[in-house]
Structure 1
Amino acid sequence: MKQLQIKDVQGYFPAQLAFWSFLIGSLFLLLAFLFPKEEDILISGLIYVLLAFFLNGICFAVLLLQVVFNWKEREEIAFQMLILLANIPIAALYLFVLIQFKN
C-alpha cells in the first residue's frame, strides 16, 4: 500500500509544478504590464524563469529516469513530461510579448 501512495505523490508533483510555474510566470507578465517602468519586476521575472527552468529540468530528469526503470508506466510518465515541456513555448511567447510591449 505504501508504494501506491508514493506513486500518487510522484504522479501529481510534475503537474503541480507545471501549473504553479505557469501561474507564477503569468503573474510576472501581468505585473510587467501593470508596472512597465519597474525594471525590478523584469529582473525578478528573469530570476524566476531561471529558477523554474532549473526545477522543471530536475523534475523532467527524474521522470526520464522513471521511464527507464518503470517501462510499463511509460505512457503516463510521458504525459507528465509533456505537461512540463508545455511551459517552454509559453515562456517563449511571454518573452516575445514583453519584447514587443517594451518597444
Structure 2
Amino acid sequence: MTTPTSTEEQQWQAATAALLRIIFPHDALVWIIAEEYGSDGPVWRTTLVCQGEWRQWMRRRYRYDIPSGTLHFAGEEPISGAELRSVRQQGRRL
C-alpha cells in the first residue's frame, strides 16, 4: 500500500465532510477529532463528537469507502463531560 499524498487526503477529507453535512443539520454542534487513512483498505476514517438520540454527547466513527464514495457509520460511544470540554477547545467544527 502506498502512502497517500496530502492532496489525496484533502480530497477524502472534503468528500467525507460533504457527506457528513447531509447527515447533520447545518446548526448541529459537531466536532471532528480525528481523521486518518485506513491501513486495512482504501478507506478514510473520521471520528467526531456530536449529540446522540437522547441528547447525550457521543463519539462517533465513520468510514469513507474511497472507491465507492460511500460513507459508513462505524459505531458510537458516550463521552464524559471532561472529554467534551477538551473536544470543544481542540476539535475542528464540521
TM-score by length of 1: 0.29
Question: Which fold has the larger relative contact order, with Cα–Cα distance below 8 Å and residues 6 or more apart in sequence?
Answer: 1
Higher helix share: 1
Higher strand share: 2
TM-score by length of 2: 0.31
